[in-house]
Amino acid sequence: MPSANIRTPRPQLATKFAGTMSRVLRGRGSWESSRRIAKTTLCDMYVSRALAILMCVVLLAAVPAGSALGAVLLPRVPMRDQLRLLLPLAALSCLPLFATSVAPPPMVAAALWFVAGVLQAFVLTVISAVTMLTVPSRRGRVLGIASAGFNAATAASFALVGWLAGFASVGPARAVSLAGAGGLLMVAALRAAWPAASIERAA
């Protein structure tokens, strides 16, 4: 979930509204002035709620929007260079998640996640590499299994991070940072077994 400090309508606004209505019911103050204060307070509450929803939408859309831009930019790079950049891009895409540990403002978090989305375009190169390394008669099956595995891993990681974020000792910001750490560990493990020579020959 978003790590930024998004708040629902402030408790003091609700308290102010309740106090205003209480004074009206007790006959204190003029009705017009109390109604005006109550109307202003309600407007503030609705604006605060709308801003919170808007920030959630922006945060949720940041990574997909970045991925869309990356999908447009990366194919312009020659395939041989894409293959060389594959693991570095995978590692770099995890780094913006670490900055989330300091609970930045919503727009800063959205910018970081947008950059992470752009860097995630390396997935296109992975698909190309799998296609090149698979014999034509088995490509459909291999790509289907690879896509299913990728989608399952994505869903499992989202569920795990959401579960960790529910713990008071972890929280959303730290959970997202742990996701970045897990991604870097996976990249390091892949680096040790990466078939660089085979990919170089196929390119």
Looking at per-residue confidence, does 106 or 39 come out higher? 106
For residue 46, pLDDT over 80 is answered with no
Burial of 85 (0-12, 13-18, 19+ CB in 10 A): middle
pLDDT in tens, 58-113: 888 888 899 899 989 988 888 888 888 888 888 888 888 877 777 788 888 889 88
Q: Is 103 left (phi over 0), alpha (psi -120 to 50) or beta?
A: left
pLDDT in tens, 146-200: 888 888 888 888 888 888 888 878 888 788 888 888 888 888 888 877 776 666 6
Q: State residue 42's pLDDT score.
A: 57
| Helical packing angle, 106-119 and 79-92, nearest 10° | 150
Q: State residue 114's pLDDT score.
A: 92
Instruction: Assess contact for 190 and 87: CB atoms under 8 A.
Output: yes
pTM of the complete model beyond 0.75: no
